[in-house]
Chains A and B, each alone.
Chain A
């Protein structure tokens, strides 16, 4: 296969091509960076509360049981649209209350059913977590997850 090519040629193609594709990649991610800021996410509502909510999510490593936008662990349900599922899109108060009730009801202790721990979050943390779920539910994810016809 490579018999016809000299080692120097192979080397030049490798370095040249790598630089070429790396530059394209960087340019495209820069473009995507601006697309995220301008188009797919609502930066104007990314409040301090949303930011703190993301930290609650991280400090408790929810990602190592759940997925978020399909990334993470596969042990527990996807949560990208849980705000909508909990009715927050229609009535934010319901969304917040349902989330808080859920968090407080854990663990269920049901024998033979997967368990989610009790995190003992403060009222503030519940607020922030809700703000985070609300904000991410509005990110334009190209229609993911699929919504099978009921």
Chain B
């Protein structure tokens, strides 16, 4: 760690890990309600649990992104963070907002659009937090070196904040509401977040492989270019059946199919650079997370996304367990794993230790990834059956759900495995590193 203020990443990463644990526990409760429908139904209905599960996910991913930015911007810009004090205020305000939101949900205080359930004042607080952060990062960048990695990351973070502003627009016309809702949800995960993902990836590859920065930065431009050229009009894959014009069935199908390519490019990029690199970096676990991230995001977003993105197929699969299977592997592969990668990379520096529990960390990688993959497979099977029975044969929703109950048991089982992986990751990251560095 070359700069003092990189330490600011530490509290963000700790909070991210805490919320991660809460998120998967929430998922497990939701999964339990699926198999024991009367579980908690009087005190804590499914919708509240689900809200906590998805919101905790978004918040901890953002915590991780903030931490990642505080860690890598000083090193890229070769200067200290503009205002460490502001970063601390931002941290506590964000953590407080997240905690207040969850407590509020438990008491039924929430709004009612998926993922955007935060009460108005919390949405405002999120914007304030984002502005503090962007001000801090941008000022740092302005006084320092403007590398491509730093610029793409900062662009992604600005885009994240700008598109969030559409969360404040809730027209009474449901079709309009839905159309702009995707400005937040789709343009985040299949737009500006990909800039954040790719730039964090590029940063770690530069640091760990010793490959020439010029090569990596050129790749970075190509990847984020592919992402935005396809992802902007790719939004059309959500505009098939919500009251928007029919031409989106063509545009959405074509451009969202192209969205597979940035994810494919990231796989090729990461493997090519790691192979080309000759520096024998001791943090093997971080490399594992990097490669795992590009592979599973290719499968989760690319392959599982493509599976149901063509309009004639989506007509039948829209809003079934197929969507849930894709949502899980895509979020996990891309954004969970990039966070775990940067945490695995940065923690030894932040804690002033040799690469800590590498073996346990790598075990957590394999446990978590197998759990998530199995969960995806079971949900896919459930989704295929559901699509056929409900959308093709015309059986009643509830009747179909009974027929596919077995898969919900398997989802719960794999979810428990994921949780074990998560707990092991946290333990491996924060335990005292007894292991000696290999090299």
Contacts and interface: CB of A to CB of B under 8 A. Distances in A.
A32 B114 contact: no
Contact of B173 (A29, A41, A59): A41
A18 B393 CA distance: 43
Contacts of B47: 61-65, 73, 75
A9 to B, nearest CB: 9
A18 B229 contact: yes
A70 B318 contact: yes
B179 A33 contact: yes
B22 interface: no
A55 to B, nearest CB: 8
A135 B178 CA distance: 15
Given A14-B224, A61-B51, A64-B50, A25 B232 contact: yes
A142 B229 CA distance: 26
A46 to B, nearest CB: 6
B175 A40 contact: yes
A100 interface: no
Nearest to B177: A54
B318 A144 contact: yes
A99 interface: no
Nearest to A17: B229
A7 B175 contact: no
Nearest to A146: B391
B392 interface: yes
Contacts of B401: 114
Interface in B320-339: 320-321, 323-324
Contacts of A6: 218
A75 B34 contact: yes
A111 B242 contact: no
Interface string A56-73: 011111111101111111
A72 B54 CA distance: 12
A74 interface: yes
A45 to B, nearest CB: 11
B226 to A, nearest CB: 9
Contacts of A129: none
A105 interface: no
A7 B217 contact: yes
A25 B233 contact: yes
A140 interface: yes
A50 interface: yes
Interface string B94-120: 000000000000000011111001000
A77 B399 CA distance: 11
B243 interface: yes
Interface string B136-164: 00000000000010000000000000000
Contacts of A28: 233, 251
B391 A145 contact: yes
Contact of A64 (B46, B177, B222, B242): B46
B222 A35 contact: no
A14 B34 CA distance: 45
A84 interface: no
A104 B429 CA distance: 50
Given A75-B46, A78-B319, A41 B112 contact: no
A10 interface: yes
Given A36-B244, A74-B319, A10 B221 contact: yes
B344 interface: no
A32 B244 contact: yes
A72 B394 contact: no
A32 B307 CA distance: 26
B49 to A, nearest CB: 9
A142 B146 CA distance: 48
Contacts of A72: 114, 319
Contacts of B238: 71
Interface string B229-273: 100110100111111111011010000000000000000100000
A127 interface: no
Given A5-B218, A43-B173, A139-B174, 19 more contacts: A2-B222, A6-B218, A7-B221, A10-B218, A14-B228, A18-B225, A24-B232, A39-B245, A41-B175, A54-B177, A61-B110, A67-B319, A70-B319, A74-B319, A78-B319, A107-B41, A115-B38, A115-B45, A144-B315
Interface of A: 1-2, 5-7, 10-11, 13-14, 17-18, 21-22, 24-25, 28-29, 31-33, 35-37, 39-41, 43, 46, 50-51, 54, 57-65, 67-78, 107, 111-115, 117, 135-136, 139-142, 144-150
14 contacts: A10-B218, A18-B229, A18-B232, A32-B239, A36-B175, A60-B112, A71-B114, A73-B46, A74-B323, A74-B324, A111-B38, A114-B46, A117-B41, A139-B174
